[in-house]
Amino acid sequence: MALIIITGTLLIAVILSLLVKERDKIFGLIALSASIVELLATLFVFGQVAKHGIYTFNSYLSVDYLGLIVMLIVAVVGLAASWYSISYLKIEMTHGFVGFRRVKQFFVLLHLFILAMFFAITTTNPILMWIAIEATTLSTAFLVSFYGKPSAIEAAWKYLIINSVGLLIGFFGTLLFFYPAIDKLYNGFLTWGWMVANVSGFDPFVAKLAFIFVLVGYGTKVGLVPMHTWLPDAHSKAPVPISSLLSGVLLNVAFLAVLRFKMVTDLAVDHAFSQKLLIFFGLISILVPAFIIFTQKNYKRLLAYSSIEHMGVIALGFGFGGAGILAAVLHMLYHALTKSILFLSSGNIFLKYGSTKIKNVAGVLKTLPSTGVLFFIGFLAITGMPPFGIFLTEFSIMAAGTKSHPWVVIVAVLALALIFVGFLRHVVAMLYGETEKEVIPREMDKNNLAPIILLVVILVVLSFYLPTGLKSIITLASLAY
Amino acid sequence: MIFNLLQIIFLLEVVIFLTAVFMHLIHKSSLLISLYRLQSLIISIFIFGSAIEASSILLMCVAVFMFVVKVIVAPYFFTKLIKNNQLKFASSTYLNNPLTLLVVAALTSLAYSQYFQPLTILAKGNVNSLLLAVATILISIFLIINRKGILSQMIGILSLENAIVSFAFLSGLEAAPNMQLGIIFDILVWIIIASVFAKMIYDKFGTMNSTIMNNLKEE
């Protein structure tokens, strides 16, 4: 029932947003109400999964342990992003950057985007999951080109084309996973459970080829190097609430697709095959952004490259296996929260300075003291500083690979150190120093701070204390993969 | 009879393959659309054949929906795009024609190489057709990379999708009919969105040549 409530709420939110005329305040009210309902329904599902294991609504929709973790991420970050959007767009409207029509378009597409992500997580069918992930691309393409500038349109086109090619490659891989079901398809509806149960009929060579296509295909959406080229452009051009959802949430949804296929592949061949591939893509996804982060000139692109790096860390965790998987699942959660904190704070910085270039931003701690502190907390957390959760997960992932892949761990740790230095360099330049142009030292709106503070509180609490229910669900999620 | 049917299927697959090859070589936008229309028509015939074989009304609906979307609606959108923006000729390629053909030949050889041999177990007596479908997939990806024009990139993606559908038909790995309806609907939305973007790009940049778009390099 909870899954229907989520779907229904989002559909109603889309319809209501389409019906709104003139009064832009109603969009925010609809978005906030819908997000609260989604979060409550997700918490209900959490209770059901904690009690009974997999929560099945019908043969089309169900939630497993890892699906629940990603669903929680969608609900929490979705609430923060929707909440933040209200005041963010209000300020943008006041400045004349966007008009009523654009705001309407924003909220309609935001609801569709969140709906597609929920559906991708909860569907039991790989093809429906593919359709839902493709729908996330289609619903967000216009959000990437939201400001209508030539660079935004270019980024959106790049996003649409590269992701479409990637997802078609992923679709080809998905079809190959249907191999055990040849000639049986017209009789029924193929589910993840069916694929796992019938894995004995899967030819190992076809399974290997299928997983390569799936990894390259969905890996494009995850932003793994070298399929990442669209990500920094799209994430930096979209309005910040969307950037926070793209970086913090959507990448995890796409990763979930890879992991579901990994589970089937591991049963058809052996764990080593998928692990080697994940380690390869994971390592280069840490290494390449490390150098780019160091020389980055745009703080939104800096955060986007950091997302690629963290997807690499998660891939390494699943690649190393064992305790690395548990840490990788936790890393998904911590990264989503931290990246959203950083993107939303960067939104306040953008509203104040009117530029995303690092050289144009200085003295944030003076001009935006609260945002500056929140941004600094986000920086410490994202670069893996103790006591934040990412320190623990990165340490655990590297520890898991020390024995089996010592050279990979050494290279990854060196890259992470370079990322810290690069980040520090940019953050110090932004937070301290004197501004060249005159900026009035005052926070824009308290509603631009509240959602970020909420995320910081959740991040800090979860860094020190994981509730027993959540801990056991994360453990069970990691055991399945 | 079966032998003849396999031959016909192979012949149709050859036509699909050739449309993908010619998409690389021709420069007239209307011809490019016609090639896509022909390719889509054959794919619709494949699905129609599947529907008759399986006596499935739902699959028949899939074939009709596919025909409407790919053979009528998509070409209509593209033709409108050409007329409105006076795009008589699609943009050029990164590689010249001889080099393009060389790469196409290499990709076809790759499809028939040992790397894709595991897939032959999927073929029901039509190994050549199946590997030709794989070659079409690779050539379509190359089309997206090699062409500078927005319209060619769009048609490249749709050609890639056609190639995957033909592979699924030949290997028996088709998704259930209701899923196929969902996929075609997805493609329809994609076509509409991509066409809107193409129009936006033309309005902003005054051309549909993707090489003109280099605003992101300055960041």
CB-based contacts of A294, cutoff 8 Å, min separation 6: A418, A419, A421, A422, A425
Find, in chain A, the residue whose alpha carbon is nearest to that of B186. A131
How close A157 gets to chain B, by Cα (Å)? 7
DSSP annotation of A357 reads: B
Asked if A168 and B150 come within 8 Å (Cβ–Cβ), the reply is no
Task: Please check whether residue A255 is in contact with residue A120, taking contact to mean a CB–CB distance below 8 angstroms.
Answer: no
Instruction: Give the model's pLDDT for residue A186.
Output: 47
Among A136, A149, A154, A228, the residue to mutate for chain B (most B Cβ within 10 A):
A154
pLDDT tier for residue A184 given thresholds of 50, 70 and 90: low
How close A229 gets to chain B, by Cα (Å)? 11
Least confident of A252-256, B32-36, B100-104, B168-172: B168-172
Tokens of B172: 């028996």
* Residues β-bridged to residue A62: A56
How close A411 gets to chain B, by Cα (Å)? 28
Chain B residues with CB under 8 Å of a chain A CB are: 54, 56, 59, 116, 118-119, 121-122, 137, 141, 144, 150, 153, 157, 160-161, 164, 167-168, 171-177, 179, 182-183, 186, 189-190, 193-194, 197, 200-201, 204-205, 210, 213-216, 219
Q: What is the mean pLDDT of chain B?
A: 89
Q: Is the pLDDT of residue B153 over 60?
A: yes
Asked if B150 and A157 come within 8 Å (Cβ–Cβ), the reply is yes
SS3 B130: helix
CB-based contacts of A143, cutoff 8 Å, min separation 6: A106, A109, A110, A113, A238, A239, A242
Asked if A134 and B219 come within 8 Å (Cβ–Cβ), the reply is no
Q: Which residue has the higher pLDDT, B27 or A327?
A: A327
Which one of A134, A190, A203 has the shortest CB-CB distance to B186?
A134
Residues of A with Cβ-Cβ distance to B111 under 8 angstroms: none
SS3 B185: helix
Tokens of A357: 């270039």
CA distance linking residue A411 with residue A421, whole number of Å: 15
pLDDT tier for residue A99 given thresholds of 50, 70 and 90: confident
In this structure, which long-range contacts are made by residues A193-199, counting pairs with CB atoms below 8 Å and at least 24 apart in sequence?
A193/A124, A195/A126, A195/A264, A196/A263, A196/A264, A196/A267, A199/A264, A199/A267, A199/A268
Asked if A298 and B219 come within 8 Å (Cβ–Cβ), the reply is yes
Among B197, B205, B208, the residue to mutate for chain A (most A Cβ within 10 A):
B197
Beta strands in A68-128 (DSSP E): none
Closest CA to A239 of A145, A154, A378, A329: A145
* Residues β-bridged to residue B149: B209
* Residues β-bridged to residue B89: B28
The one-letter amino acid code at A361 reads V
CB-based contacts of A23, cutoff 8 Å, min separation 6: none
ipTM confidence: 0.94
pLDDT tier for residue B35 given thresholds of 50, 70 and 90: very high
Residues of A with Cβ-Cβ distance to B167 under 8 angstroms: 172, 175
Least confident of A17-26, A162-171, A237-246: A17-26
Q: Which residue has the higher pLDDT, A312 or B53?
A: A312
Asked if A186 and B59 come within 8 Å (Cβ–Cβ), the reply is yes
Residues of A with Cβ-Cβ distance to B116 under 8 angstroms: 209
Q: CA triplet A351, A355, A359: central angle to 5 degrees? A: 130
Closest CA to A233 of A312, A308, A319, A154: A154
Tokens of A185: 């398809």
Residues of B with Cβ-Cβ distance to A298 under 8 angstroms: 219
Q: What is the mean pLDDT of chain A?
A: 92
Tokens of A247: 């970086």
Residues of B with Cβ-Cβ distance to A209 under 8 angstroms: 116, 118-119
Query: Of all helices (H) and strands (E), which one includes residue A184?
Result: none
The one-letter amino acid code at B69 reads V
Asked if A131 and B219 come within 8 Å (Cβ–Cβ), the reply is no
How close A155 gets to chain B, by Cα (Å)? 7
CA distance linking residue A374 with residue A363, whole number of Å: 14
Instruction: Give the model's pLDDT for residue A344.
Output: 96
Among A112, A125, A158, A165, the residue to mutate for chain B (most B Cβ within 10 A):
A165
The one-letter amino acid code at A396 reads S
Closest CA to B152 of B203, B84, B211: B211
List, for residues A430-459, the tens digit of each pLDDT value.
999 777 667 777 777 788 899 999 999 999
List, for residues B162-217, the tens digit of each pLDDT value.
999 999 999 888 878 888 888 999 999 999 999 999 999 988 888 888 888 877 76
Which one of B153, B182, B193 has the shortest CB-CB distance to A138?
B193
Mean pLDDT of B47-59: 89
Which one of B144, B182, B201 has the shortest CB-CB distance to A157?
B201
Q: Is the pLDDT of residue A119 over 50?
A: yes
Angstrom distances, CA of residue B104 to CA of B17, B31, B101, B158: 11, 20, 5, 18
Q: CA triplet A353, A358, A359: central angle to 5 degrees? A: 90
List, for residues A283-313, the tens digit of each pLDDT value.
999 999 999 999 999 999 999 999 999 999 9
**Token pair 């329809």: residue:** B188
Total-model pTM: 0.94
